[in-house]
C-alpha cells in the first residue's frame, strides 16, 4: 500500500499565515472569488483579511490561490473597489448541475 505523507508545520498558537499542503481546501469550495483586474487597485485589503492566506498581491493585482481558498467571500466583502465577485464554483469550472 502506498501511503501519502503530509508534513504539517506547527507554529506557536497553532496558526500559520502561509498555506501548507495539509490545509488544501479548494476542492470543497462552493463559491469562487474572481478578481476583475480592471477594477483591482492592488490595495492589499483582501490579502490582509483572507483567513486562509490565499490572496496575494502580485504586480499590483490580487491573485487568489484556489488550492487553499475556501470561498468564504471575506475578500469580496472587504474590497473597496468591488473588484472581487463570488461566483458558483461549478460555473467557474464550466460544469453544469
- What pLDDT does residue 45 have? 96
SS3 state of residue 13: helix
Q: Can you list the domains of the chain with their CATH numbers?
A: 12-93 (3.30.70.20)
**Average of per-residue pLDDT across 21-33:** 79
pLDDT in tens, 32-84: 999 999 999 999 999 999 998 999 999 999 999 999 999 999 999 999 999 99
pTM for this predicted structure: 0.73
- What pLDDT does residue 94 have? 83
Instruction: Name which residue leads in pLDDT, 41 or 19.
Output: 41
> Helices marked H in the chain — which ranges?
45-49, 74-78, 89-93
Instruction: Name which residue leads in pLDDT, 14 or 93.
Output: 93
Amino acid at each position: 500500500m502506498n501511503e501519502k505523507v503530509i508534513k504539517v508545520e506547527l507554529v506557536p498558537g497553532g496558526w500559520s499565515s502561509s498555506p501548507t499542503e495539509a490545509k488544501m481546501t479548494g476542492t470543497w469550495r462552493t463559491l469562487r472569488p474572481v478578481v476583475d483586474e480592471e477594477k483591482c487597485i492592488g490595495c492589499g485589503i483582501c490579502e490582509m483579511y483572507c483567513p486562509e492566506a490565499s490572496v496575494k498581491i502580485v504586480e499590483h493585482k490580487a491573485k487568489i490561490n484556489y488550492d487553499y481558498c475556501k470561498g468564504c467571500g471575506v475578500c469580496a466583502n472587504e474590497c473597496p473597489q468591488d473588484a472581487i465577485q463570488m461566483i458558483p464554483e461549478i460555473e467557474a469550472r464550466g460544469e453544469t448541475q
